[in-house]
Amino acid sequence: MIKLDIHGQVPAIDTAVAKAKLDELKSSDMVGWLTLPTDYDQDEFARIKAAAQKINSDSKYLVCIGIGGSYLGHRAVIEALNKKSPTKILYAGNFLSPASFQQILDELGDADFSVNVISKSGTTTEPAVAFRIFKQKLIDKYGEKEAYQRIYATTDSSKGALHDEASANGYASFVVPDNIGGRYSVLTAVGLLPIAAAGVDIDQLMAGARAEQEADDESIYKYAALRAALFQKDYDLEVLASFEPRLFYFAEWWKQLYGESEGKNSQGIFPAATIYTTDLHSLGQYMQEGRRNIYETIINVTDESPLITVPALKENLDGLKYLENKSLAYINQNALRATVTAHSTSIPVVEITTEKIDEYHLGQLIYFFELSCAISAKLQGVDPFNQPGVEAYKNEMFRLLGKPN
Ligand code: PA5
């Protein structure tokens, strides 16, 4: 179970109101993710595993093309776990920088590769452009027939340019369910195919999410209710912090989940992230003494492995005798405890404790944050599942680029 502790001064919270929002949520037609861990398509799941095996057998690289919810969830899990796999995952379609494209093309070189293009709408510009470029590279290398056998398309079941192209060219296709939006889709084929190809045990990932779903975890409601109460008191900036650099992309996923779900109608807590202890020597100053509209949520991972200790030496020239034979985990945990104590004298600090970073516990955390996010958005009176603001830049870009219609 995920443990939630609150440090420092916080307003009173009402978990009953947060629970009541769950009933409101259930009437939405975009909550397929709510029961997904207990109710996923077993055939699709088996196809995902088979596709991952094929990719592992014939590809040194899998280029995953997608942006936003079609990108961040799988990168979060893959980078957190860093499993051994015959296939290395590369990420494209989430930027337009030619230099960044070139880096990927250079890394691919002449190696065998496949492409997983992921877009629910099938029309987003960044992944569509990237797909053209990598599809052309596949065709140049393998010829059209084999190239098409190396393309895996994850998209809508019935509409969109990508759906139509996949049907026309016979790509292996996976479905983004109609009732699950991008940023809630990591446990669908959107996330699961790249995650499985990266050597991660997707059964365990689902098992963790399932445990959190079935536990009806009180911490979920507590976190959502606390966020709403803090927002009412003008705390409009939340920093997700962890002492685990491997959670960098998990925090990126979290930022997108909360930012896109809540930031509308002039509402929403701005989600930012830090990695400690690195950022204690930069943003730590702001956390301790900057403008007081900010609060912090720290993910505490208690697992102490692997055991790495401070070597014992004859001399004490560096003054570290007092840490000899102490483990890095012990020192890291004390850095965390010191940060919680120091920061909570001046801002609210929420501590979310998980035992480990493995498939099971990441599954739990994913479900925990998805549900608390949707409830938190509801408590702020906004729709967690749309993103009308994203259209503004898209339309202007289309105008500048001369897109027809
Ligand atoms: O959460 C969301 O819905 C968005 O971030 C989308 O995932 C993102 O805009 C990409 O959309 P699509 O999958 O349609 O290409």
Q: What is the pLDDT of residues 367-399, one digit of tens each?
A: 999 999 999 999 999 999 999 998 899 899 999
Ligand 1 centre distance from Cα of residue 281 (Å): 34
Residue 318 Cα, ligand 1 centroid: separation in angstroms?
51
**Quick one: which atom of ligand 1 is closest to the CA of 184?**
1
The Cα–Cα gap between 271 and 260 comes to: 10
pLDDT (tens, 9 = 90+) of the chain, 405 residues, equals 799 999 999 999 999 999 999 999 999 999 999 999 999 999 999 999 999 999 999 999 999 999 999 999 999 999 999 999 999 999 999 999 999 999 999 999 999 999 999 999 999 999 999 999 999 999 999 999 999 999 999 999 999 999 999 999 999 999 999 999 999 999 999 999 999 999 999 999 999 999 999 999 999 999 999 999 999 999 999 999 999 999 999 999 999 999 999 999 999 999 999 999 999 999 999 999 999 999 999 999 999 999 999 999 999 999 999 999 999 999 999 999 999 999 999 999 999 999 999 999 999 999 999 999 999 999 999 999 999 998 899 899 999 999 997
* Residue nearest to ligand 1 atom 5, measured at CA: 68
Could you give the residue numbers annotated as active site? 260, 281, 394
Residue nearest ligand 1's atom 2 by CA: 182
**CA 70 – ligand 1 centroid, Å:** 6
Q: Which of 33, 64, 70, 129 to mutate to test the pocket of ligand 1 (most atoms within 8 A of CB)?
A: 70
Q: What is the pLDDT of residue 391?
A: 86
Residue 48 CA to ligand 1 center (angstroms) comes to 21
CB 2 within 8 A of CB 217: yes
Type of residue at 294: I
The residue whose CA has the least distance to atom 3 of ligand 1 is: 182
Q: How many CA atoms does the CB half-sphere of 161 hold within 13 Å?
A: 11
pTM attached to this predicted model:
0.98
Query: How confident is the model over 110-123, as pLDDT tens digits?
Result: 999 999 999 999 99
pLDDT at 61: 98
Q: Which residues line ligand 1 (CB under 6 A)?
A: 67-70, 119-121, 124, 127, 181-183, 260, 387
Give Dmax (Cα) for the chain.
76
**For the CA of 155, the nearest atom of ligand 1:** 13
